[in-house]
Amino acid sequence: MVTTQARVAQERNGHGVVARADGLTKRYPPAVTALAGVSFAVRPGEFVAVLGPSGAGKTTLFRCLTGLTRPDSGTISIAGLDIWRSPRELGLARREIALIFQQFNLIRRLSALENVLVGRLAHVPAWRVISRSFTRADRQLALGCLDTVGLLDRARTRADELSGGQQQRVAIARALAQHAQVILADEPVASLDPESSATVLESLRSAVSAGVAVVANLHQVHLARAYADRIVALRDGRIVEDTPASRLDTRTIEQIYERNGERGAL
Amino acid sequence: MAAVLRPAVDYPDPGSSWWSGRRLRFVLVLILLAGFYSASWHLAKVDPGRLLTGLPKMAGWAAKAWPPATDELPVLLLRTAETIAMAAIGTTAAALLALPLCIVAARNATPSMALYYPARWLLNALRGVDSFVFALLFVAAVGLGPFAGVLGIALHTWGSTAKLWAEAIENIPPGPLEAAAATGASRVKVIAYALLPDVAPSMVSVGLFWWEFNVRASTVLGVVGAGGIGQELKNSMDLLLFPRLLTIILLILITVTVIDHTSEWLRRKLE
């Protein structure tokens, strides 16, 4: 267990922070301000849930963190790389970021194991990719990742024969195989039933136990409270709440979702 | 209850006028179609009278053609094999050439839009010229025989296959490709690992379709001197050897049927 003092010291030195956003702003002219000065830092082994009503800027924040959208101002550093400094740094940073999509995005006709091996593509010479002959070490690693998400027995099953929840867990195994330091998950359980949602979020928790930082957009507050360590709430492009999940109370939740005196859906 | 259904106000009814724009357009289209078909009828010199006098002639040939000649069967079988070989080599060469072209000619896989447009022009040009026409040119260039047919088939099929393959590539969902690219993998790796397995079955299916199509097409390539069973067909017709002609037509029918069924069976197995 790292003491709080040690952690603060680490943070001050810039160590122990795996992803950092500083003063991010993004405007979509003429009238939309998607982000208005967003700053936060994520430590290894931390599960951060991003909450907020539709239009709060969650998607824009994700697109900025993954290098898909360039912020108007502010900096983003992933694993110590300033992703907007040069295309080279962005390329290197991408290896340290693993993405989880709402629609899983597995290659339909390949097996679960072959899909997990996608996480190794950047680390393997091209001829091995083209001839699909991965090293024993890579295959063992991929099998280990499938074991972590509880799908070792499905290694040979084709991706399109798995259920939605299983597909998302394969996607998490793919992210683990990438050996990325950060997993960014944009609405990872939005298209899943409650039971599958639970197993998927448990798999994300196992990634967190392995030391990976997870940042996930979530719609359901109760899931964020149950699985995340920390909750960052966005509203109108600003962080309105940044708190340990255990300290999130009902009144705060209402404040996050309240709009023009009306209550948003929880 | 009926009172509820009868509205109290008189709504303006867009369908009430007989000469509404839609009806006018329909009549206009009918007039245009009638003009097009009457012009085509004249240009094509359609003359049912000549068909009526010609039909008994054909019936006479048919009577004379029975029984089919079997004395030259070994030669004709060799020519049939030539035809199938022409189609197989031509289609395979086309497929090998189409593989790089289809990637360049697919919007979502092309390495650069500067290459995409020239690739599209090339495949449209190749597709626009029939293998028959290509074969005609190649007979002049490389001489009579099946090789000219192979070249003709290869060029036309190259363009046609590349176009259908490029369309198959453009239709695959972008998500898995994005996911693979997001790991930091290079474009070549993404295409080889994430894109090709997804389109491979439809690509093989398209390839088989063209092989089957080309067996049918190459039965007539002999008419322009490009070898195979078509050449024998033309010779027999020129010399009015009807029993031999019948044998050839039967051979073509059997071959095409067998190839069609094999190809269909293989394509069904792929799904």
Q: Say what the pLDDT of residue A16 is.
A: 79
* Structural domains of chain A sorted by starting position, each given as residue range(s) with its CATH number in brackets: 4-263 (3.40.50.300)
Residue closest to B160 by CA, chosen among B108, B212, B122: B122
Residue to substitute from A103, A105, A109, interface B, most B β-carbons within 10 A: A105
Q: Say what the pLDDT of residue B17 is.
A: 66
Ramachandran class of A78: left when φ > 0, alpha when ψ lies in -120 to 50, beta otherwise: beta
**pLDDT over threshold 50, residue B27:** yes
A vs B, Cβ pairs < 8 A, gives: 75
Structure letter (DSSP) for residue A74 = E
Q: What confidence category does residue B4 fall into, taking pLDDT thresholds of 50, 70 and 90?
A: low
Give the span between the Cα atoms of A16 and A79, in whole angstroms. 9
Give A-chain residues touching B185 at CB under 8 angstroms: 118, 121-122, 129
**pLDDT over threshold 70, residue B102:** yes
Name which of A35-49, A171-185, A252-266, B72-86 the model is least confident about.
Answer: A252-266
Segment B45-59 mean pLDDT: 87
Q: Say what the pLDDT of residue A56 is.
A: 84
Name A232's Cβ contacts closer than 8 Å, sequence gap at least 6: A40, A48, A49, A50, A51, A239, A241, A242
Q: Say what the pLDDT of residue A9 is.
A: 43
Q: Is the dihedral of CA A257, A259, A262, A265 positive or negative?
A: negative
Contact A108 B178 (CB under 8 A): no
Q: Give the CA distances from residue A122 to residues A48, A82, A149, A207, in Å, rounded to whole numbers and listed in that order.
A: 26, 20, 22, 20
Segment A12-32 mean pLDDT: 80
pLDDT tens for each residue of B178-220: 888 888 888 889 999 999 888 988 899 899 889 888 888 888 8
Domain boundaries, chain B: 70-270
Give the span between the Cα atoms of A118 and A146, in whole angstroms. 13
Residue to substitute from B99, B191, B193, interface A, most A β-carbons within 10 A: B193
Q: Give the CA distances from residue A242 to residues A40, B27, B203, in Å, rounded to whole numbers and listed in that order.
A: 9, 69, 51
Give the span between the Cα atoms of B160 and B154, in whole angstroms. 10
Q: Work out the minimum CA distance from B116 to partner chain A, whole angstroms.
A: 23
Contact B179 A174 (CB under 8 A): yes
The CATH homologous superfamily for domain B70-270 is MetI-like (1.10.3720.10)
Segment B247-252 mean pLDDT: 88
Provide the mean pLDDT of chain A: 84
Q: What confidence category does residue A5 fall into, taking pLDDT thresholds of 50, 70 and 90?
A: very low
Q: What confidence category does residue B14 fall into, taking pLDDT thresholds of 50, 70 and 90?
A: low
pLDDT tens for each residue of A96-123: 889 888 888 999 999 999 999 999 998 8
**pLDDT over threshold 90, residue B120:** yes
pLDDT tens for each residue of B226-249: 778 888 888 888 888 888 888 888
Q: Say what the pLDDT of residue A11 is.
A: 44
**pLDDT over threshold 90, residue B264:** no
Give the span between the Cα atoms of B184 and B234, in whole angstroms. 60
Residue closest to A108 by CA, chosen among B175, B203, B159: B175
Q: Work out the minimum CA distance from B169 to partner chain A, whole angstroms.
A: 14
The token pair at B19 is: 């000469």
Give B-chain residues touching A126 at CB under 8 angstroms: 186, 188-189, 192
ipTM of the prediction = 0.80
**pLDDT over threshold 70, residue B75:** yes
**pLDDT over threshold 90, residue B161:** yes
pLDDT tens for each residue of A197-246: 888 898 889 889 888 999 999 888 888 888 999 999 888 888 888 888 88
Q: Give the CA distances from residue B35 to residues A25, A128, A199, B21, B40, in Å, rounded to whole numbers and listed in that order.
A: 64, 63, 68, 21, 9
- Residues 175-204, chain B, touching A (beta carbon < 8 A): 175-176, 178-180, 182-186, 188-190, 192-194, 197-198, 200-201
| Closest chain A residue to the Cα of B194, Cα to Cα | A107
Residue closest to B215 by CA, chosen among B244, B265, B251: B251
Give the span between the Cα atoms of B256 and B244, in whole angstroms. 18
**Helices B131-142, B146-170: inter-axial angle, 10-degree rounding:** 140
Q: Say what the pLDDT of residue B147 is.
A: 86
Q: What confidence category does residue A7 fall into, taking pLDDT thresholds of 50, 70 and 90?
A: very low
Give percent of chain B with pLDDT exceeding 90: 28
Closest residue to B179, CB basis, from A99, A129, A132: A99
Give the span between the Cα atoms of B14 and B17, in whole angstroms. 7
Burial class (CB in 10 A: 0-12, 13-18, 19+), A156: exposed
Segment B134-149 mean pLDDT: 85
Segment B153-177 mean pLDDT: 92
pLDDT tens for each residue of A38-84: 999 999 999 999 988 888 888 889 888 888 788 999 999 888 888 88
